[in-house]
Amino acid sequence: MKNEFLKKCPFCGNSPVFEATESDGYGGEAKVYFKISCKHCQISYPEEYKIVVGLTEEGEMKYLIDERDLAVESWNKRYE
Ligand SMILES: [Zn+2]
């Protein structure tokens, strides 16, 4: 996932960023909540998204929930 998939901020034309807002975890799973924001204008897409990762028995990180595509899609749609 790269920020270049995100359309520029409609207000200032700068590139928005993924911004982690909160994290927690239980039972071996870690959750990271995030928004897509423009740091220049201090605005964020109102929706908050999440990523949940766990560890497989093979020692790989596994995405149990990954809403990054959804977040990018929503951000890009908003300003079409
Ligand atoms: Zn902006």
Summarize pLDDT for 33-58 with one digit per residue, the tens. Answer: 999 999 999 999 989 999 999 999 99
For residues 7 and 80, give the distance between their C-alpha atoms in angstroms, rounded to a whole number: 9
For tokens 């093979």, the residue is 58
Q: How many CB atoms lie within 10 A of CB 21?
A: 13
CA of 1 to the centre of ligand 1 (A): 20
pTM, whole model, 2 decimals? 0.85
Which amino acid is present at 71? A
The structure tokens listed for 7 are 């359309």
CA of 80 to the centre of ligand 1 (A): 16
Which residues, in sequence order, are bridge partners of residue 24? 31
CA of 15 to the centre of ligand 1 (A): 7
At residue 78, the pLDDT reads 77
CA of 47 to the centre of ligand 1 (A): 17
For residues 2 and 60, give the distance between their C-alpha atoms in angstroms, rounded to a whole number: 21
For tokens 């890009």, the residue is 76
